[in-house]
Structure 1
Amino acid sequence: MSAALWQLSRISGGTEMRSFDEILAIAAERKGGRDAVLDGIPKPKTAEALAAIPDDRWLAQFARGILQAGISWTVVDKKWPDIEAAFHGFDVGRVALMSEDWFDELIADPRIVRSPPKVRAIQENAVFIAEVAKADGSFGRRIGDWPAEDFGGLLDWLQREGARLGGATGAYALRQMGKEGYILSGSVVARLVAEGVIDKAPTSKAAKRAVQDAFNVWKAQSGLSLTVISRVLAQSIDA
């Protein structure tokens, strides 16, 4: 079902969701004006700019998200220069071919977050990135060419093909790298629930599709990126 038809079906069902402008107005009232809501939201990178990002930087960003999961991000921030050094700059080929001796050295290395499952996931993501880059020319090429209108499909692909890239990890990594998209934070989910799009954090295919369709409707209405829309939705809910 197209986003437009999905919206019409909701109207006919008597549960029309608010327009993007209405949600923006709610956020503006909470935050002290439209400019206060929209200023400072980064513009997503173009497909070509994403394609030009070296594969090692994708691996580094995924690794950062994996290492931060479940611990203080400040800890990882402080360790990051040493983590980069321990993983040899996240050279994709080198990490993909990690020997058992190097693996054992890493999980005993105080410079990093010493979690065997996380270190193994980083290696597995190096293999994943290398395979995609071989097929497409670069990992960023695949990410850049993925349509924003199927951002949910991109998240599912990362979760399915990557290692420990499900949940918010993949979405946050993509935002940090400049890919247009949304993050289903507690506040964003709360707004989607308030609009009748979903009734809880989406886990089923149908619920995820409903989320994507809603974002596509708001994107068509506003001409803004999914990134901006996501940030506006988050700011429209009392913390």
Structure 2
Amino acid sequence: MTPFRDLWEMARARKGGHAAVETELPHPAPIEALHKISDSQWLSDIGKQVFSAGFNWKVVEDKWPAFEAAFDGFDPWKIRMLSDDALDDLAANRDLIRNRMRMEAIRENAAFLCALSEERRKPAGHVFVDWPKTDYVGLLELLKTRGARLGGLTGMYLLRWRGVDGFVLSPDVTAALQREGVIDGPATSKKAMRAIQTAFDIWHAESGRPMMQISKVLALTVGPTAEA
């Protein structure tokens, strides 16, 4: 693998200077601020990401206040108890995006948050925030296997949206990881994800930078859009 300092130089050369690279780097939210996010807010964020996947995000953003009202603030302990008839009514609401399967995913994810909170004896959001960074792929696996429609980029964007440190395997980042020999194809297997975790751990040890910044630097070495 290319050392991080050389990846940085590649990004600097493409962007036109160190300052230009620095201005593009995201920053993790403070742990104290992340701990203040309620599980209701997490469920709202989850719902928004689920509805945004493969859909026009601007439409979702514009309609989300109506979702907040229709789902009564997204209290997961209430939402997990919604009946099928109640979901049918929500799916027929013209103020919302009428997708019954994604409505059901919100109920399933409410049950997931409640179960996680009960198991760990703390808010589910704290579980996400406190998860060891050296096992970020384990957190992504948790979202994928126990959440509804939270695999792949959806789970990654959910965590990035809230400022939880981690990488996003955008096309640019994936291409950079393939170039570096970390993976030799799509990042779909557990073996590939563990190899990616190891690579990020090494680059973090070299640079001291959070994973989200390493992810962005990788993207800046590849594509004109630099998605990360």
User: Would the TM-score normalized by the shorter structure come out above 0.5?
Assistant: yes
The answer to whether the 8 A contact 1:219-1:226 is kept is yes
1:31-50 mapped onto 2 (5 Å cutoff): 31-50=15-34
Alignment correspondent of 1:212: 197
Aligned residues: 223
Higher relative contact order (CA 8 A, sep 6+): 1
1:45-84 mapped onto 2 (5 Å cutoff): 45-84=29-68
What SS does the corresponding residue of 1:39 show, helix, strand or coil? helix
For 1:37, the aligned partner's letter is: V
Deviations 1:166-208 (A, max 9, x none): 0100000001111100000000000001111111221122111
Deviations 1:94-129 (A, max 9, x none): 211112221111000112111111011110000111
Match of 2:109 among 102, 108, 125: 125
Deviations 1:69-91 (A, max 9, x none): 12111111111111211111111
Deviations 1:32-90 (A, max 9, x none): 21221122533213444323210011101110110011211111111111121111111
RMSD between superposed Cα atoms in Å: 1.3
1:150 aligns with 2:140: no
The answer to whether the 8 A contact 1:27-1:232 is kept is yes
Instruction: Structure 2: give runs of 5+ residues left out of the alignment.
Output: none
Structure 1's consecutive aligned runs of 4 or more residues displaced over 4 angstroms after TM superposition are none
Match of 2:148 among 153, 163, 167: 163
What SS does the corresponding residue of 2:166 show, helix, strand or coil? coil
Deviations 1:1-23 (A, max 9, x none): xxxxxxxxxxxxxxxx1111111
1:184-203 mapped onto 2 (5 Å cutoff): 184-203=169-188
Most deviating of 94-103 and 179-188:
94-103
Structure 1 CA distance for aligned equivalents of residues 10 and 24 of structure 2:
18
For 1:158, the aligned partner's letter is: L
Structure 2 CA distance for aligned equivalents of residues 45 and 77 of structure 1:
22
Most deviating of 86-95 and 44-53:
44-53
Match of 1:112 among 96, 100, 114: 96
Structure 2 CA distance for aligned equivalents of residues 83 and 194 of structure 1:
42
Structure 2 CA distance for aligned equivalents of residues 39 and 137 of structure 1:
36
Alignment correspondent of 2:7: 23
1:183 aligns with 2:140: no
What percentage of aligned pairs have identical amino acids? 43
1:224 aligns with 2:201: no
C-alpha change, 1:182 and 1:48, in structure 2 (3 Å) is same
